[in-house]
Structure 1
Amino acid sequence: MANVTLGGTPVETTGNLPKVGDKAPKFKLTGTDLEDKTNDDFNGYRLILNVFPSVDTGTCAQSIRTFNEKASGLENTKVLCISKDLPFAMGRFCGAEGIENVVSLSDYKTGNFGKDYGLTFKTGAFETLLSRCIVVIDTDGTVLYTEQVSEIADEPNYDSALKSLA
């Protein structure tokens, strides 16, 4: 399990992120249209999984804005913004912010995404929510890059994630 902090207080996750070079675990998440979305819906695309606790926090909202801006210039790449927020909240936020270059997905139904990727909080105030992580996946499903942000309030390293696609 990964050890990260929330405001300096240690918290644990249920496991560890997939390793670079591994095949990414399959997933089934819910889109803002309330339809199921799986890895297969994104076949042939490189994926940046921008995972976070809740769109209702400043750092999470900023990560969506930043990836929305950067995603517009990425070829053959989809940015998937994933949390346990209800699809309605994600849709409302993206609509209000004019965010159109990312795909919002929710793990609220089963929590299996967080378990399979080893990034669900096991302890602390955010217990059962998803920790802040970036996972970059190639078109063949191979993990190219991962980042488990060590302090939940911090933003991920956008540049390193994007460089993994070069």
Structure 2
Amino acid sequence: MSTITLGGNSIHTNGELPKKGDAATDFQLSKEDLSTATLADYKGKNVILNVFPSIDTPTCATSVRVFNQKASNLDNTVVLCVSRDLPFAQKRFCGAEGLSNVHCLSDFKDGKFGKDYGLEIVDGKLAGLHSRAVVVIDTDGKIAYSEQVPEIADEPNYEAALAAL
């Protein structure tokens, strides 16, 4: 269990993020057309998992915009923005913002991704959603970097995540 804060108040996740060198856990997430994406779909690529509570909050939206901009310069790398938002909300946001260098994926069906990666918030106002985190998976499917953002309203350390590539 990790302790993070929301507005300075302690809340908890169901576990710990995977550590550098760990094998990345496979996942099944929903794409905007409701088809399924798995980690195997990105085999041989670097994968940046930008995880957050909801696309409709300012910090979450900023992280998607920033990674979209930074992803345009990355070779053999895909940025997956993961939340429990419905795929329709994710598609609406990216379409309205003109974001095409990131892929939004939803864990709305069962929250298994959040549980498996230790990101499910288990108490407080955001219980059931994912905490803000970044996980970088290398081309061999190993964790190259992980960050559990301590204060959910803060942005992740983009530069540290990108440096892990």
- Scaled to the shorter chain, the TM-score interval is over 0.9
Q: Structure 1: which amino acid aligns with 2:156? A: P
Q: Could you state the TM-score of these two structures normalised by the residue count of structure 2?
A: 0.99
Q: Per-residue deviation at 1:26?
A: 0.8
Name the structure 1 match of 2:51: 51
Q: Structure 2: which amino acid aligns with 1:46? A: N
Matched, 1:107 2:104: no
What CA distance in whole angstroms lies between the structure 1 residues aligned with 2:18 and 2:40? Answer: 19
Deviations for 1:74-122, whole angstroms, at most 9, x for unmatched residues? 0000000000000000000000000000010000001100000001001
**SS in structure 2 at match of 1:155:** coil
Alignment of 1:141-160 (within 5 A): 141-160=141-160
- Extract unaligned runs of 5+ from structure 1: none
Name the structure 1 match of 2:2: 2
Name the structure 1 match of 2:12: 12
Name the structure 1 match of 2:87: 87
Q: State the superposition RMSD in angstroms.
A: 0.4
Alignment of 1:3-82 (within 5 A): 3-82=3-82
**4+ residue stretches of structure 1 with deviation over 3 A?**
none
Q: Per-residue deviation at 1:44?
A: 1.0
Q: Structure 1: which amino acid aligns with 2:72? A: S
Q: Per-residue deviation at 1:33?
A: 1.2
Q: Could you state the TM-score of these two structures normalised by the residue count of structure 1?
A: 0.99
Deviations for 1:12-42, whole angstroms, at most 9, x for unmatched residues? 0000000110001110000011101001111
What CA distance in whole angstroms lies between the structure 1 residues aligned with 2:110 and 2:44? Answer: 26
What CA distance in whole angstroms lies between the structure 2 residues aligned with 1:164 and 1:40? Answer: 20
